[in-house]
Amino acid sequence: MTAVSTLQTPGIEGRYRLLVDAIIDYAIFMLDPDGTVSSWNSGAQRSKGYSREEILGEHFSRFYLPEDRAAGLPERALATAASEGRFESEGWRIRKDGSHFWAHVIIDAIRDPSGQLLGYAKITRDLSERKLAQADLQRSEEQFRLLVQSVTDYAIYMLDPEGTVASWNLGAQRIKGYRPEEIIGQHFSTFYIDEDRLSHMPKQALEMAAKEGRFEKEGWRVRKDGTRFWANVIIDAIRDHDGTLLGFAKITRDITEKREAQRALEQTRQELFQAQKMEAVGQLTGGMAHDFNNLLMAVLGSLEIARKRALQGRNIIPLIDNAIQGAQRGAGLTQRMLAFSRKQELKLQPTDIYDLVRGMTDLLQRAIGPSIAVQTSFPLVLPKALSDANQLESALLNLAVNARDAMPDGGALMIAAKARTVAAGDIADLKPGRYICLSVTDEGEGMDAETLEKATAPFFTTKGIGKGTGLGLSMVAGVMGQSGGKLVLESAIGKGTTAVLWLPQAEEGDMPADLAGEAADMVAVRPLRILAVDDDPLVLMNTVLMLEDLGHIPVEATSGEDALRILKSDPEIGLVITDHAMPRMSGSQLAAKIHEQQPDMRIVLATGYAELPEGSDRSLPRLAKPFSQDELASIIAQVAKDPQ
């Protein structure tokens, strides 16, 4: 047995020796009790630069820096290993070529079974790369710390998972007023106003940051001295590589000045808007006053002369026609304002453009005067356009008057039309489809680019003060937009102006129902006892006279309360026509009260407003003011034939 063991032992030692020598990442060698190198592996030669022949028999202290040798560090290392069995440290060591490397060193004492010190086993690992990486990391962390500490416009600090302040920079001290020793260890809810703390906002902020990864909000915060400031707050959750919540990074910025500046800017904008609105009202007032005064002069003058001639038994029909025309132009002026605000209800129906233009040629000629020749150019076949005929006539009249003003010395006015197909993107703000292009071209002085750009702006006018409302082209643009079309202006100095009205082409489904039956029903309506309600005695008298002339029996009421009393005492009333804008009780409110008592009562709402206020019954038949006798007869016929 002894022979066998003797034969195996050298083999095991040889394998261990081969194993140790094959290791190249660690320097593994033996030292005698006095520190002399007695073995050397490949890893030692690779990391320290000495061959086995060069280093065996040399003292291991040659691997130490001169200052470490002078301080007796090698001897203390061996003494520690001898007394404690092991020595471990990190430090700078020297290679054969004089270069330094950072080494992790372990020295183990080797003793025989009797405890006699035989020497030391020494393992050295080159950690230079890790040391450099750690140094870079420390340097980066220090730079980042200095950066964060030097920031004074932002409060940047850390919170632990419970919300306790763990760090504090100069910006936090400047903004919130606390020194680091005063606030570190305190809960961050200290910075919140009382009402936010009572509503648990700090807790909710941390919960949101932990759940979503980030929380951001603006609100009031409190400084150490009790003053408030408006803060922009960002809280980011900080987690380690396995997702464990380590805490929160919190950034707070004092934006009180910015908020005040925004509020001041908003106030300035409101003041500017108010000033612009008042300027616009002034322009509108001047223009409207001029136009309405002209119309009232025509109406009042005609009626005054008509009254005198009527007493003399003379013919007053032309004077009455003139007054009616002036009143109609006044109604048209009101419609222009509503169209400008895009609150005028349009009655879109297929319109024959050629017939419309031909029918108003005489009116256009009278409006622009004899010095301007009206010319037309239409194809033999032109599809109908989908438009409100009355509004289109008003638009053409506006364009013709503008053309007249642009040609003070006279000239030609060309009105033309043609069918066009528009593809997507051909014309801005115009949907693809088929259109009728109605153009009005003058030979006037034209407009420069700046004037052309402002031409459709509300209240913009090149005429003198009091000579126009500045709503003409705005009205035309508004009507075109409501119709699904567009107004396009083309002009240049010295080359005149062309206004092109793009009108959608009427389709088969747009054709109106036959109105002949309705006209017959209008004639066939039996006389009705009709309650007319209006707080304006002049309007009420006019409505009553129209109803009497149509063969009906009118009953007058000057208020909603008066109307309710009459309805209780007069069961023969079959229809109520009421004004909407009345004091104490509006027409809509009156209708609601009537329907509570008489659900089957027919009611017509007469109003000069394009839109009724919230809460009004929008299902009621409406009669737009001012209305003619034909329009009054038509609405009565419509209501009378509708089933209850």
- Does residue 636 share a domain with residue 497? no
Same domain, 472 and 361: yes
Q: Give the residue with greater pLDDT, 82 vs 389.
A: 82
**Banded model confidence at residue 65, pLDDT cuts 50, 70, 90:** very high
Residue 128: CA atoms inside 13 Å, Cβ hemisphere, count? 11
* 254 alpha carbon, distance to own chain's centre: 25
- Are 170 and 103 members of one domain? no
Same domain, 159 and 303: no
Q: Does residue 143 form part of some domain? A: no
What pLDDT is stored for residue 69 in this prediction? 93
Q: Picking from 210-224, 421-435, 597-611, which range would have the lowest pLDDT averaged per residue? A: 597-611
Question: Residues 360-377: pLDDT tens digits?
Answer: 887 778 778 888 888 999
Q: Is residue 144 part of a domain?
A: no
The confidence score (pLDDT) of residue 641 equals 76
- Is 419 among the domain residues? yes
Specify if 136 maps to a domain: no
Stretch among 224-233, 331-340, 523-532 having the lowest mean pLDDT: 331-340
State how many domains the chain has: 5
Whether residue 135 lies inside any domain: the answer is: no
Please tell me the number of Cα atoms within 13 Å of 444 on its side-chain side.
25
Range scoring the smallest mean pLDDT among 79-93, 270-284, 539-553: 270-284
At which of 193, 225, 254 does a domain end? 254
CB 557 within 8 A of CB 535: no
Picking from 495, 510, 525, the residue at the C-terminal end of a domain is 510
Q: Are residues 500 and 380 in the same domain?
A: yes
Structural domain ending residue among the three candidates 254, 271, 298:
254
Q: Are residues 522 and 435 in the same domain?
A: no
The whole-number average pLDDT for the span 249-275 is 80
User: 318 with 462, same domain?
Assistant: no
Rg (CA), the chain: 49
Crossing angle (nearest 10°) for helices 317-340 and 256-311: 170
pLDDT number for residue 8? 44
For residue 371, give the 3-state DSSP assignment.
coil
Give 197's contacts (C-beta < 8 A, 6+ positions apart): 189
Task: Evaluate whether residue 210 is within a structural domain.
Answer: yes
Say whether both 490 and 430 belong to one domain.
yes
Asked whether residue 1 is domain-assigned, the answer is: no
pLDDT in tens, 552-591: 999 999 999 999 999 999 999 999 999 988 888 988 899 9
Buried b (16+ CB within 10 A) or exposed e, 142-178: eeeeeebbebeebbbbbbbeebebebbbbbbbebbeb
Boundaries of domain holding 413: 343-510
Over 70: is that where the pLDDT of 96 sits?
A: yes
Model pLDDT for residues 98-126, shown as the tens digit of each residue? 999 999 999 999 998 898 999 999 999 98
Query: Does 563 lie in the same domain as 489?
Result: no
Please tell me whether residues 302 and 386 are part of one structural domain.
Answer: no
Q: What is the pTM of this model?
A: 0.40
- In-domain check, residue 134: no
Please state, rounded to an integer, the average pLDDT across all residues of the chain.
Answer: 82
Residue of higher predicted confidence among 152 and 263: 263
Residues 525 and 624 in one domain: yes
